[in-house]
Chain A
Amino acid sequence: MSFVLSQEQRLLKQTAGDFVKSRSSLKRIRTLRDSADATGFSRDIWREMAELGWVGMLLPEDDGGSALGYMDLMMVMEELGRGLMPEPMLSTTLLGANAVLLGGSEAQRRELLPAIARGELLVALAYQEPSGRFDPHTVQTTAEPSGRGWKLRGEKCLVLDGHVADRILVSARTSGSIADRHGVTLFLIDPREHGVLVNRQMLVDSRIVASIRLSDVAVDESAIVGEPENGGNLLEAILDRATAGLCAEMLGAMSAAFEMTLEYLKTRKQFGVAIGTFQALKHRAAILYTEIELARSAVMGMNQALDEARPGASALVSVAKVSCSDAFLLAANEGVQMHGGIGMTDEHDIGFFLKRARAAEMTFGDAAWHRRRYAELEGY
C-alpha cells in the first residue's frame, strides 16, 4: 500500500502536464467542437502520446507496452483530464486494449496489441444497448451460428470513438435471455464489413460516439475474444479497468474546474470586495475541496487494489466512480454558480467542465448504479 507517489510517478505527472499545456488548450477543445471536426480529436497528438508510451502503458513489454500499472496511468489520465483532452485513451487504451489483453488469444494479441501501442490502431468496445441503461449484461444483440461462423444482428449505442475505430468489439448473446449474466460472447469486427452501419453522433460534451446497427454481419470463429458464453465476466473486468482510467480523468477535470473557480473567487469584486471574502462562498469552497480530496483518496485506493489484483478491487472501483461522479458534478455546478451570469455563457470555459461532468458521470454507470452494484458485491 502506498499513497505516496514515487519519483517516477511524479516525473510522469510532470511530463504529462507539460505535454497537455504545450499541445492543447481549452481553445483547441472549443475549435474541435465549433468546426464540427470529423475526427473529434488530433491524430498528431495521438501519435505523440503513443511515442511517449502512454497508449500502450498497461500492456506487457512483450506486447509492445510499458508494463505500468493503474497508479501510473492515473498520472497521465489526470493531466489529460485537466485539459479535457478528447484523444481516444478511454476507447483504445482502456476498453479495447484491455479486452484483447484480458481475453484475446495469442494470435489476437500479436496482431492487435503492438499496433495499438504504436498508435496505429483504434479499437472501440460496443457493449451498451438502448434498453440496457448502464447494465453490461443486458444484451439483445444476437449471434447465431451460421455455416462455420456466426451472424450478428442488433443495435449498439454510445460506442466511444466508434466513428473512427479500426476494429470494434461487440457483445452479443449466444444463449440465455436478455439480462442473463451468462450467454454473452465478445466478437471483434471490422467496421468496413458488410452489414455494419456506423452512425456518428456528438454528445453534450462535444465528444464523438457512434450508434451501430449490425444487420447479419458474418464473422468466423477467429473473431471471438475470450471464452464463448462467458463474455459477461470479461466485460466486467474490462469495465472495472476502464472506469479506473475514467475516474483519474475526472479527478483532473474537477481539479481544473475548481482552480478556475477559486481564482474567480479571489479576483471578482462585488460590494467593493473580492467575493471570496464572503463566508457563504468560503464554506462551500472548503466543502468542495474536501470532496475532491476524498475522491482523490478513493481513486488512489482503487488503483492500488487493481495493481495488486486484490479481491475487493471491483467494490473499490464503485467507491471511486461514485466519489468522482458526485465531486465532479459538484465542482462543475458550484463552478457555474460562483461565476454567476458569465458562467452561463458559451464564451466562458466553465461550461465545458459542466458538460463533461454530466457525460463522465453517465459513462460506465452513474453514482446510483454504482451504489447498487457495491451493495450487491458486498452481499447486502
Chain B
Amino acid sequence: MREPLKSENDLCWGGKKREYPADVKRWLQVMAERGWTAPTWPECYGGGGLSKARAKVLAEEMARLGLRPALFGVALTMIGPLLLQEGSEEQKRRHIPAIVRGERLWCQGYSEPGAGSDLASLQTGAVADGDDFILNGQKIWTSLADKADWMFLLARTDPQAKKGEGITFLLMDMESAGVTVRPIKLIAGNSHFCETFFTDVRVPRENVVGRINGGWSIAKALLGFERSAIGGMFKKERPEGDPLVALARRYIDASEKEIGDPMVRDRITRIRMDQKRLEFTLARTAENAKAGHKPGPESSILKYYGSELNMRRQELIQSILGPHALGWSGEGVDPREVRMTKEWLRSRGNSIEGGTSEIQLNIIAKRVLGLPE
C-alpha cells in the first residue's frame, strides 16, 4: 500500500458491488478496525475518536511512509459528516459504522434532467403512504450509482409549496424495488456518471434526514462539507517535478535550458503561478478554519478558480502535445497520449459539475459582494 496511486481506478471506494484486489481489501480492514478510515469520528460509531491534532499526526505519518488512504468517497467527505451533524441516533447507528468499514458506497441524487443549475426546481416526487414514501422520477449525473449501495437524494414532498420549501432529504437503499440505473457515456469515453430512474420505490419514513419539507436546509449544510472536500482535490503532490515542464522537454525542446518556444514557456509560467496562488489560498482557508474563524469569503472562490485552472492546464497540455494529442486508437497510437487527451475532454466538465462556474460567480456576487438581486 506504499505504491503511489496512478489513476482514479486505484482508489478504494468501498461498497459491496465492487471487487478490489486482496491487498486493498486487507488494508481497508486493518485501517477500519482502528477507525482510521474516519480518524476524527466518534468511537461509539466505529470512528477513530482522534482529536484534530492527533488526526493530523496520523495523516502526516501516513504521508511520510507514503501510505495510501484506505478509503475514499462521498460517504467519508459528505454524507458521513452530515449524518453525524443532522442525522437521528438510529440513522447514525445504522450507517456510520458501515461507512467506516467501507461496506457501503454512497451516491448523490441531486440533479435532474430539468433541474441542473436551478436545483430547487427538481420534480422527483415522494408521496407519503403509511410508514413509507413512494418515490417516482429521475436523477441524472449520479456518480457511481451503478456501483452504489445507498443514495442520498432530494425529492419533492409538497408540490404546492414554494420551490425550496417542499423538498425532503432522503436516504435510499439502491436494492429497493423500482430502482433502475443506466451508465452515461461521456465525450471522453466511459464514465462513472449514471442516470437513475425511480418507479414506485418505497422509502421508509425513518430514512428522512431532518424535517419533512426541510430538505433544502440539509442540502445547504451538505454543501459546506462538499466545499471543504473540493479544497482537498487540488492538493496534488508532484514530487517528480512539474509535469508541464517535463512534457515541454519531451515534445518541444529536449534541452536543459530555456524552453525553446517562448509562448509555451510563458503559458507554463502562468499556470504554475496561478497554481501557487491557489495553493496559498487553500492554506489560508484551512488555517483560518483551524483557528476557529468562520470560512472566510476566500473559500467561495475555490471551486470556481480550481475548476477553471485545471481546464486551462489541460488545454496547455494539449498545446504541448500538438499533433500527438490527436490519436484515439489503433497501432502506433501512444496510450499515454490518449489518456492525456481523455483527461482534457473530461476536464471540460469541471466548470459544470458541482455547480457551474456561472452559478459560483452568482454565489460570490450575492453572498460575498452583496450585489442586489
Could you list which residues of chain A lie within 8 angstroms of chain B, going by C-beta atoms? 1-4, 262, 265-266, 273-274, 276-277, 279, 282-283, 285-287, 289-290, 293-298, 300-301, 316, 318-319, 322-323, 368, 371-372, 374-376, 378, 380
Label chain B's interface by main secondary structure.
helix
Q: How many A-B residue pairs have CB under 8 A?
A: 118
Contacting residues, chain A, for B293 (C-beta < 8 A): 4
Query: In the complex, which of the residues B248, B269, B278, B365 contacts A285, with contact meaning CB atoms closer than 8 Å?
Result: B365
Question: Nearest residue in B to A278 (C-beta to C-beta)?
Answer: B371
- Assuming the contacts A293-B301, A322-B273, A375-B269, asked whether A3 and B283 have C-beta atoms less than 8 A apart, the reply is yes
Question: Nearest residue in A to B278 (C-beta to C-beta)?
Answer: A294
The reply to whether B373 and A3 form a contact with Cβ atoms under 8 Å apart is no
Could you list which residues of chain B lie within 8 angstroms of chain A, going by C-beta atoms? 242, 245, 248, 258-259, 265-266, 268-270, 272-274, 276-278, 280-281, 283-284, 287-288, 291, 293, 297-298, 301, 304-305, 358, 360-362, 364-365, 368-373
The reply to whether B284 and A286 form a contact with Cβ atoms under 8 Å apart is no
Contacting residues, chain A, for B297 (C-beta < 8 A): 289, 293
Q: Give the shortest distance, in Å, between A239 (CB) and chain B (any CB).
A: 18
- Interchain CA distance A334-B19 in the complex, whole Å: 54
The reply to whether B288 and A298 form a contact with Cβ atoms under 8 Å apart is no
The reply to whether B361 and A282 form a contact with Cβ atoms under 8 Å apart is yes
Contacting residues, chain A, for B361 (C-beta < 8 A): 282-283, 286-287
- What are 15 A-B contacts with C-beta separation under 8 Å? A4-B293, A277-B373, A283-B365, A286-B368, A290-B305, A293-B297, A294-B274, A294-B277, A296-B298, A297-B280, A297-B298, A319-B277, A371-B273, A374-B269, A374-B273
Query: In the complex, which of the residues B245, B287, B288, B371 contacts A266, with contact meaning CB atoms closer than 8 Å?
Result: B371
The reply to whether B280 and A301 form a contact with Cβ atoms under 8 Å apart is yes
- Interchain CA distance A295-B273 in the complex, whole Å: 11
- Interchain CA distance A298-B274 in the complex, whole Å: 9
- Interchain CA distance A295-B272 in the complex, whole Å: 14
Question: Nearest residue in B to A304 (C-beta to C-beta)?
Answer: B280
- Interchain CA distance A242-B205 in the complex, whole Å: 65
Other than the known A4-B293, A286-B360, A286-B369, what 20 A-B pairs have Cβ atoms closer than 8 Å?
Answer: A3-B280, A4-B291, A276-B371, A276-B372, A282-B362, A282-B369, A283-B365, A285-B369, A286-B365, A297-B280, A298-B277, A301-B283, A316-B276, A318-B273, A322-B273, A374-B269, A375-B258, A375-B269, A378-B272, A380-B268
The reply to whether B373 and A375 form a contact with Cβ atoms under 8 Å apart is no
- Interchain CA distance A323-B269 in the complex, whole Å: 12
- Interchain CA distance A285-B362 in the complex, whole Å: 10
- Interchain CA distance A293-B283 in the complex, whole Å: 13
Which 10 A-B residue pairs are closest in the complex by CB-CB distance? A3-B284, A297-B280, A286-B364, A282-B365, A301-B280, A286-B361, A297-B281, A294-B277, A276-B371, A290-B301
Contacting residues, chain B, for A322 (C-beta < 8 A): 273
- Assuming the contacts A282-B362, A322-B273, asked whether A289 and B369 have C-beta atoms less than 8 A apart, the reply is yes
The reply to whether B245 and A380 form a contact with Cβ atoms under 8 Å apart is yes
- Assuming the contacts A289-B364, A290-B301, A380-B259, asked whether A297 and B287 have C-beta atoms less than 8 A apart, the reply is no
- Interchain CA distance A380-B257 in the complex, whole Å: 6
Question: Nearest residue in A to B299 (C-beta to C-beta)?
Answer: A293
The reply to whether B287 and A3 form a contact with Cβ atoms under 8 Å apart is yes
- Interchain CA distance A328-B362 in the complex, whole Å: 22
- Interchain CA distance A140-B58 in the complex, whole Å: 58
Query: In the complex, which of the residues B270, B280, B291, B371 contacts A298, with contact meaning CB atoms closer than 8 Å?
Result: B280
- Interchain CA distance A263-B362 in the complex, whole Å: 18
The reply to whether A289 and B277 form a contact with Cβ atoms under 8 Å apart is no
- Interchain CA distance A296-B361 in the complex, whole Å: 19
